[in-house]
Amino acid sequence: MGALSILIFLPLFAALLILALPSSLKGSYRYIALVFTLAQLALSLYMYQQFDPTLGGINSISGYQFVEQIPWIRLDLGQLGKLEIDYFVGIDGVSLPLIVLSSFVMLMSIGASWHVEKSVKGYFALLMVLNMAVMGIFAALDFFLFYVFYEVMLLPLYFLIGIWGGARREYAAMKFFIYTLLGSVLMLLVIVGLYFSVVNPASGAHTFNILLMMNPSNYVDGSFFGFLGNYHEVFGVPARLVGFIVLFFAFAIKVPIVPLHTWLPDAHVEAPTPVSIILAGILLKIGGYGIIRVCYSIFPDIAADTNWWLALIGVLSIVYGALNALAQKDLKRMIAYSSVSHMGFVLLGIASLTAEGLSGAMFQMVSHGFLSAALFFLVGVLYDRVHDRYIYNFRGLANIMPTYTAYVAIAFFASLGLPGFSAFIGEAFVIIGAFNAEAMLTGVPRWMAVGGSVGILLSAAYFLWTLQRMFFGQTRLQGGEKWRLALTDLDTREKIVLLPALALALVLGIVPSLIFDNLNASVIQLLDTIKPYL
């Protein structure tokens, strides 16, 4: 069993251990979760350190590292050919940063769950299963395996939101589940279609191997998603375009893009703080990752045709999300909408089809990952103390919670793209990429870059305005003296959770090469596969 498999299945052992221990030891569950997640982070950092940045990955197996390929399901279906499913995992420059990010955010989430009291056993077990599924998604290179992890991720989330969530938790949990499932059942049909269109040249069997799906020469002539001379149409639309749209739809729900984002504010607001952290920090990245790994790599021809539309959706999400954030009166909802806006940059960067834009998008995903986690944690701090997060119920918090205010200010400034922090690098690179796209003839016009910049401006507006409304001025609290007593400043545990995230924002803002170096080869290779179709 290789390092990557250990990384994926470590949380599963933690979950089984937690389930096996009797309830009398329930105080130990959080320590088990903590220890296993720490081990996971250590392992992922080891992989980061061992990673060879010169290898590109994307569509060549030799470019992947920590590869494990074990035959899983082999079946002769007679006329339908042989079924070939592998346990096939590996990482390249695209998945490495996200894996490190995931283990980091998971750790933050465990830190945030320290005081959970309701059904502790179930809670930590579900959290660990979720952890496993997320790692699996980022590592899987077999579409079947990817799909299994993708769906397995939904179940723990449904229960985590539904049982430990807020007042309208049942509604939010179901809405989240239905949205994602709607995307993924249609994705399943495309997976089946791809399976029939692709043949493993080595064995002659149809395959679910994602890498083999990226190579045009592996497609059967005249098959449904065949590359060349494909006459298949679905209700008058070319089959490959349909396949791309369906897959994009599935991942776009996760990103989320406007107008498929409506599950996100509900899920975030109702979810408990640790789950919000995971949702914003990791799950939204699955959308972006899926678009790069699956949509763009398997359908490079369609990617080149449709990037104008994708960039447009990105710009719309940026501006619409920011405007919505501006109008929110609930702090958590505001941050949820800011996520929509920030993830729009990811889509714009990917769609720009330039090296700067793609790297910027990846960087933005990582940066948004821990920054949004920190933001949601900060909201949780407030909510834990007074069970309220209505912006207008607070005023002048700086006077009674100075340390907290400092942390919030840093997180806000980092998120709004102040130079020196990581979000600036991500957003700047995306905008540069989008701006250069016209010169590179990738089909994304300059005004979209301008649209993105407007988003940065708006994000400054809503973050600073919120800072002003809640933290400055005379202290005035809705709950009066009772709240004033409840609103104690950050304790040590909270500082321990927050400090690394904010430090990371600063470090990556100053030394972005920590991420870019590992990313570069993969980005270039992805662009090389798409370039011929531009």
Partner 1 sequence: MTYTVTAPITDVLDQIMASIPLFKPELLLIGGFIATIVSALFVGKRLRNFTFAVYLLTILITIYFLQAQLPTVATGFSGMWMIDPLSTYARIIIATGGGIIGLFIQQRHKLGNNGDVYSILLAAILGMNVLCNSSNWILAFIGIETVSIASYVLVGYFSQNKAQAEAAMKYALFGSVCAAVMLYGLSLIYGLTGSLDFQSPEQLQGLMVAPEPILTIALLFVFVGIGFKLSFVPFHVWSPDVYEGAPTAITAFLSTIPKIGALILFTRLYTAWSSTAFYFSDLTTSFILFVSITSMLVGNLAALRQKNIKRLMAYSSIGHTGFLLMAVFAYQANYPYLLFYIMAYVLMNLATFIFIDALEERTGSTALSAYAGLGRKMPILFTSLTVLAVSLVGLPPTIGFIGKLLVFTAVFDTYQMADEGAVLFLLIVGALTAVISLFYYFRIPFYAFLKNNESPDIVSSDSKILVWLGYVLTACVILLGLFPSILLNLITS
Q: Measured between alpha carbons, how far is 75 from 86 in angstroms, rounded to an integer?
A: 12
Query: Segment near partner 1 (CB under 8 A), from 180-188, 317-325, 458-466, 515-523?
Result: 180-188
Q: Measured between alpha carbons, how far is 260 from 114 in angstroms, rounded to an integer?
A: 33
Nearer to partner 1, 116 or 454 (CB): 116
> Under a CB-based contact definition with an 8 Å cutoff, are residues 427 and 361 in contact?
no
Q: Residues 24, 49, 79, 474: which binds partner 1 (CB under 8 A)?
A: 79
Mapping DSSP to helix (H, G, I), strand (E, B) and coil, where does residue 214 land? coil
Query: Using CB atoms within 10 A of its CB, is residue 72 exposed (0-12), middle (13-18) or buried (19+)?
Result: middle
- The reply to whether 170 sits near partner 1 by the rule CB under 8 A is yes
| Angle subtended at Cα 256 by Cα 255 and Cα 260, rounded to the nearest 5 degrees | 145
Rounded-to-10 torsion of CA 50, 52, 58, 61: -80
- The reply to whether 25 sits near partner 1 by the rule CB under 8 A is no
Interface map 29-68 toward partner 1 (x if CB under 8 A): ----------------------------------------
CB of 232 to partner 1, least distance (A): 7
> Under a CB-based contact definition with an 8 Å cutoff, are residues 354 and 430 in contact?
no
Work out the number of other CB atoms within 10 angstroms of the CB of residue 127. Answer: 28
- The reply to whether 159 sits near partner 1 by the rule CB under 8 A is yes
Q: Residues 17, 21, 61, 152: which binds partner 1 (CB under 8 A)?
A: 152
Nearer to partner 1, 56 or 193 (CB): 193
- The reply to whether 234 sits near partner 1 by the rule CB under 8 A is yes
Query: Segment near partner 1 (CB under 8 A), from 156-164, 351-359, 372-380, 450-458?
Result: 156-164
Q: Residues 235, 439, 480, 481: which binds partner 1 (CB under 8 A)?
A: 235
> Under a CB-based contact definition with an 8 Å cutoff, are residues 434 and 353 in contact?
no
Interface map 303-322 toward partner 1 (x if CB under 8 A): --------------------
Q: Residues 57, 63, 111, 193: which binds partner 1 (CB under 8 A)?
A: 193
- The reply to whether 486 sits near partner 1 by the rule CB under 8 A is no
CB of 98 to partner 1, least distance (A): 21
Q: Residues 45, 70, 75, 327: which binds partner 1 (CB under 8 A)?
A: 75
Fill in the amino acid letter for 483.
Answer: W
Interface map 214-233 toward partner 1 (x if CB under 8 A): ---------xx-------x-
Q: Residues 6, 35, 45, 73: which binds partner 1 (CB under 8 A)?
A: 73
As beta bridge partners, residue 234 has 237
Query: Segment near partner 1 (CB under 8 A), from 3-11, 78-86, 344-352, 420-428?
Result: 78-86
Q: Measured between alpha carbons, how far is 511 from 504 in angstroms, rounded to an integer?
A: 10
Query: Segment near partner 1 (CB under 8 A), from 92-100, 146-154, 364-372, 476-484?
Result: 146-154
* Backbone dihedral angles phi then psi of residue 279, each to the nearest 5 degrees: -55, -55
Query: Segment near partner 1 (CB under 8 A), from 163-171, 277-285, 296-304, 457-465?
Result: 163-171
| Strand (E) or helix (H) holding 68 | strand 65-76
Query: What is the CA 493 to chain-centroid distance, rounded?
Result: 25
Query: Using CB atoms within 10 A of its CB, is residue 203 exposed (0-12), middle (13-18) or buried (19+)?
Result: exposed
Query: Segment near partner 1 (CB under 8 A), from 2-10, 47-55, 70-78, 88-96?
Result: 70-78
- The reply to whether 178 sits near partner 1 by the rule CB under 8 A is yes
Q: Report how many residues bind partner 1 under the rule CB under 8 A.
A: 42
| Interstrand relation of 233-234 and 237-238 (parallel, antiparallel or unpaired) | antiparallel
Q: Measured between alpha carbons, how far is 316 from 419 in angstroms, rounded to an integer?
A: 24
Contact positions with partner 1 (CB under 8 A) in 96-135: 119, 122
Mapping DSSP to helix (H, G, I), strand (E, B) and coil, where does residue 235 land? coil
> Under a CB-based contact definition with an 8 Å cutoff, are residues 431 and 453 in contact?
yes
Nearer to partner 1, 135 or 315 (CB): 135
> Under a CB-based contact definition with an 8 Å cutoff, are residues 435 and 449 in contact?
yes
Q: Measured between alpha carbons, how far is 227 from 235 in angstroms, rounded to an integer?
A: 19
What the block records as the tokens of 509 is: 């803002």
CB of 258 to partner 1, least distance (A): 22
- The reply to whether 465 sits near partner 1 by the rule CB under 8 A is no
Rounded-to-10 torsion of CA 344, 346, 352, 356: 140
Which stretches of the chain bind partner 1, using CB under 8 A?
73-80, 83, 119, 122, 147-148, 151-152, 154-155, 158-159, 162-163, 169-170, 173-174, 177-178, 181-182, 185-186, 188-189, 192-193, 195-196, 223-224, 232, 234-235
